[in-house]
């Protein structure tokens, strides 16, 4: 199968930041897109009849009684691992996922765990097609996550000092490049680029698309430099 130009453009397009969710996992923040949105994007890009999903492997790896709720009622905990195959024409991608279910009813615990595992596996399979399915989130800098959140209301007293002239933009660009070059940690670089403070600064300086792209490329180049140094070490 050969993807058409519109499909290729959609698969290469940045992931909208408005679609990115966050949750705590293992003591850190994890970014993800929701399962229903991955299905919606697949329907949009490939067509409602242009792709299929099949669960090819399913295994319950854990099942046991456990206390649940504040009262410590007796319930059940269940864990599944699943492999899902996604077909787009003759292009085949597979993904593995895990799901956990906790409920007073054993059947409900199994159902919750299986649904979560299948959704996780499907998203991992779809992710290999491109950014709209969450591929951009696997880059710690998230350079291919578009900054399309609405601009925050600006206090009236600050509007008079917001830089909007050419010289101020140039100075800001230079400062950003120097800051990017000074980073020695990939995760900190990504956190800086995706911070609300920097997003607002880029909006306030009214950067044009090619200027934002230039800074984004600088971030990606620095990320690659740091990654190569780490591998060499």
Q: What is the pLDDT of residues 156-171, one digit of tens each?
A: 444 433 434 566 777 7
At residue 1, the pLDDT reads: 67
b (16+ CB within 10 A) / e for 119-141: bbbbbbbbbebbbbbbbbbebbb
Max CA separation in the chain (angstroms): 67
Do the beta carbons of residue 51 and residue 87 sit within 8 Å?
Answer: yes
At residue 165, the pLDDT reads: 56
Q: How far apart are CA 18 and CA 37, in angstroms?
A: 11
Do the beta carbons of residue 116 and residue 101 sit within 8 Å?
Answer: yes
Q: Which of 123-132, 158-167, 190-199 is the least confident region?
A: 158-167
Which whole number is the average pLDDT over 133-158?
70
At residue 42, the pLDDT reads: 95
At residue 163, the pLDDT reads: 39
At residue 233, the pLDDT reads: 67
Structure token pair of residue 203: 């909006």
- Is pTM beyond 0.85? Reply is no
pLDDT for residue 174 is more than 90: no
| Span 40-57, pLDDT tens digits | 999 999 999 999 999 999
């Amino acid at each position: 199968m050969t993807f058409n130009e519109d499909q290729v453009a959609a698969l290469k397009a940045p992931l909208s930041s408005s679609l990115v969710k966050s949750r705590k996992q293992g003591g850190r923040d994890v970014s993800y897109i929701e399962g229903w949105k991955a299905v919606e994007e697949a329907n949009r890009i490939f067509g409602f009849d242009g792709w299929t999903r099949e669960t090819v492997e399913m295994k319950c790896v854990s099942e046991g009684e456990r206390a649940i709720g504040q009262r410590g009622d007796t319930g059940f905990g269940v864990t599944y691992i699943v492999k899902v195959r996604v077909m787009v024409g003759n292009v085949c991608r597979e993904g593995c996922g895990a799901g956990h279910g906790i409920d007073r009813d054993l059947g409900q615990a199994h159902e919750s765990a299986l649904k979560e595992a299948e959704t996780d596996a499907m998203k991992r399979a779809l992710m290999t097609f491109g950014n709209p399915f969450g591929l951009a989130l696997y880059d710690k800098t998230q350079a291919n996550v578009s900054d399309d959140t609405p601009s925050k209301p600006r206090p009236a007293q600050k509007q008079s000092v917001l830089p909007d002239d050419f010289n101020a933009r140039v100075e800001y660009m230079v400062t950003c490049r120097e800051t990017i070059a000074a980073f020695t940690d990939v995760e900190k670089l990504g956190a800086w680029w995706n911070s609300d403070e920097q997003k607002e600064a880029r909006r306030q300086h009214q950067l044009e698309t090619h200027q934002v792209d230039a800074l984004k490329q600088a971030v990606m180049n620095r990320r690659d430099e740091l990654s190569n140094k780490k591998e060499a070490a």
